[in-house]
Structure 1
Amino acid sequence: MVLLQGLTQLLLAAKFGERSIIGSKYLVNKTITPFVVAEGVPVKVIRQRFKNKQKLVNTLQNTNSKYDIDEILNVHRKLGFYYD
């Protein structure tokens, strides 16, 4: 599930990571990684969705995510995001 807010434009090449949030009135033209918040024209990732690692772990477990915690942490680390 991905949350897309109003008037967001999607191009055919756009792909969304699980549980990502895309702000309103933005242009999505690339792949968005899982569990992040993105906005802008063109869209870019601005932060991770959860600041607390335990909340991320709980969400992964409760939603039967196809990702494991290590995959998400590695992707977020490459983006420069770290957890408490």
Structure 2
Amino acid sequence: MYKKIKFTENTLQVLSLFTNDFNREYYVREVEKLLKISPRTAQLILEDLEDKGIIESKTKGKIKTFKLNSSKFTQRYLAFVEQY
């Protein structure tokens, strides 16, 4: 079953970061600085995308990194984001 994702401007910007390099991992502060959004906004968007199965996280020490999930579900959403 498809999960509903709220497509805000910030969500699309975060997803577009992951389309530049599909294997790249980002952490919250990095996303915040690249997109000039608040750390809390970046964290909420990344956690929401993780809950939906579009990205996955990995914890290294105290740092939580996020990378693109390589599922067909994710590919459908990326097709939409690339048009953005």
Same fold, judged at TM 0.5 (above)? no
Quick check: which one's helix share is greater? 2
Give the TM-score normalised by the residue count of structure 2: 0.34
Give the TM-score normalised by the residue count of structure 1: 0.34
Quick check: which one's strand share is greater? 1
Higher relative contact order (CA 8 A, sep 6+): 2
Higher Cα radius of gyration: 1
